[in-house]
Amino acid sequence: MLKPEQWRQFVVSTLLWACVVHAFFISRVVLAIPEKGMLSSAWEMVIFLPHVLLMYFLPPGYPFNDQIVNNWKIIGKIVDAFPASILYGVFLVLLGNCVRSRFRHAGRHQQ
């Protein structure tokens, strides 16, 4: 069980990493808007698969019509995808903790 200070550090680190991942995701979405898509390549759909699934299944509807781009629906889709960024944030924090503990553990055996 984590102590309160460790728990707070975990939550803050997770949210910071989630914001970094989401900022990168938003940059990819913005680059795909002129092509009338939410992401512009297949590798982005693989990397951001949890984001894509949330955007597909949650409202609002598809933000592109014939000549009209509904910016509010794009913003809604970006907000829908934030829980996936939190998932990535948790993964990155746990991965970082695992790597740090490995280096600490390896350093103790060398002495």
Mean pLDDT of 50-75: 89
CA dihedral 89, 90, 93, 99 (to 10 degrees): -120
* Count: domains in the chain: 1
pLDDT value, residue 43: 94
State the residue range of the domain holding 86: 4-110
| 15-55 pLDDT tens trace | 999 999 999 999 999 999 888 888 989 999 999 999 999 99
Is residue 64's pLDDT more than 90?
no
Instruction: State the pTM of this model.
Output: 0.86
Question: What's the rounded Cα separation, in Å, for the pair 29 and 40?
Answer: 8
Average pLDDT, the chain: 90
